[in-house]
Amino acid sequence: MDGNVIVSDVSRFEEDVLKSSMPVSVYFYSDDCLPCINFSPIYERAAQSLKGEMKFVKVFRSHNRQLAERYSVKSSPTVLFFKDGTEVCTRLSGYITHPDFKSSIEKILGRACGVKNRTVARCDVLIIGAGPAGLTSAIYTARSRLYTIVIDSSLPGGQVASTFHIANYPGTNGVVRGIDLMENMKKQALDFGAQIDDMQRIIEVSMESDEKHVKTDQADYHAKSIIIAAGAQPRKLPADGEADYRGRGVHYCATCDGAMYMDADILVVGGGTSALEEALFLTRYAKTVTIINRSDSFKAARSYIDEAMKNPQISIIYNTIVKKIIGDGFVQGAELENQKTGEVTEIKTEGIFVYIGNEPNSAAFRGLINLSSDGYIITDCNMATNIKGVFAAGDIRDKEVRQITTAVGDGTIAGIMAEKYVNGR
């Protein structure tokens, strides 16, 4: 027993899960999995808050391969839900966010998990998002002795925290784990006096008046200035069957799931830097990697293109999209469509890794703030939006280049400009 979480295995699974009188959440994890490190605190907090309403079970996947194979669990983390001995609802896998996990739990319990005792917080600067941009902003505003609160729908770190290694961040010793880099940023923000409230799902936003108001499912925040640094999330593959096979052969994180495809034939979908980076990474495990590129060229640095072209394990199919995913409980192939000729063909594959860009987490601000046609927040060079006292930084901002370094730069500017706004300078 790990707090309120039951640690189970193949010998106890029937008793712990299938015969349970309560709904059960089953979390398959690994000890070398960065997304697992990020998700475990979310899982443990849910187990604590919902004690007596739902059972929470953890299974160490590598020590229970037969059990994992029985339920077609091929990656870590993967969360399954059971009710009356049967798997129900949509399973979650890869980089699991708190909102997605909470939404699944609410569906199973058949109610919204409301909070009776809401808190009210007033601050100088409210920062929405605890990734590189948000935490950098917090470092600057808190260091300027402004009362700073950072809220995030999940845990601090953003997508960076699930990155296996980062080799192009200045000042690091060659390579650094994403989770370590983000822990350093978080510690700096806290040391300067910032407050970080994680797992806060935004319900309502009001930014028109001098005092801004953000309502989450747990608290009401009032601030003189707001910095929006909510980031972006991977765009889902627009193919028939994507939702059915997500976690059953369709993946969005090579470092999370690549090791499960030793000597396998897999697809990588995408034509940018991320697609090439992950395709090269996956050659450590897979026998062959076929890149499906909807264009006739790549939008990536020449060095990545050259390296992919020279790798004998990598082949490329141009001007093509994945139209349909084929399988029987798990991915077995894909239906491809040539964008120039319209020809439809089938290809056998054991896994599909998707890197077709990101979507900004800007839904809460639609209709309140100027957005681009793609949903990114429009700012000037000072990170200012069309609303006074409201700034945006990082991947959620409309710009050409999205890297950790550019997010940090945005966060620096936004933090400085927010301080000037609050102090009337």
Tokens of 155: 């845990």
Helix, strand or coil for residue 25? strand
In the three-class reduction of DSSP (H, G, I as helix; E, B as strand; rest coil), residue 327 is classed as strand
Answer yes or no: 253 catalytic. Answer: yes
Nearest alpha-carbon partner for 226 in 415, 423, 395? 415
Cα-Cα end-to-end distance for the chain: 55
Q: Retrieve residue 239's tokens.
A: 């193919």
Residue 138 near residue 148, CB atoms below 8 Å: yes
Residue from 125, 171, 196 nearest 408 by CA: 171
For residue 33, indicate whether it is catalytic: no
What is the C-alpha to C-alpha distance for residues 422 and 357, in angstroms, rounded to an integer?
35
State how far the Cα of 367 lies from the Cα of 371, in Å rounded to an integer: 8
Q: From residue 39, how far is each of 36, 224, 279 by CA, in Å? A: 5, 32, 25
Please state, in angstroms and as integers, the Cα–Cα distance from residue 175 to each residue in 35, 167, 273, 305, 336, following that order.
18, 4, 18, 21, 37
> How far is residue 32's CA from residue 76's CA, in Å, rounded to a whole number?
9
Active-site entry in 33, 36, 123, 253: 253
Catalytic residue among 33, 256, 395, 410: 256
- For residues 107 and 88, what is the distance between their CA atoms, to the nearest angstrom? 10
Q: What stretches of 61-177 show up as alpha helix (H) in DSSP? A: 65-70, 98-109, 132-143
* Residues 6+ positions from 129 with CB-CB distance below 8 Å: 150, 151, 152, 158, 228, 229, 230, 231, 361, 394, 396
Indicate if 244 belongs to the active site: no
Backbone φ and ψ of 360, nearest 5°: -70, 145
- The active-site residue, picked from 16, 124, 152, 257, is 257
Verify cis geometry, omega within 30 degrees of 0, for the bond prior to 77: yes
Cα-atom radius of gyration of the chain, to the nearest Å?
Answer: 22
Provide the token pair at 318.
């141009």
Residue ranges of the alpha helices (H) in 131-284? 132-143, 178-191, 242-245, 254-257, 273-282
Using an 8 Å Cβ cutoff, are 36 and 77 in contact? yes
For the annotated catalytic residues, the residue numbers are 253, 256-257
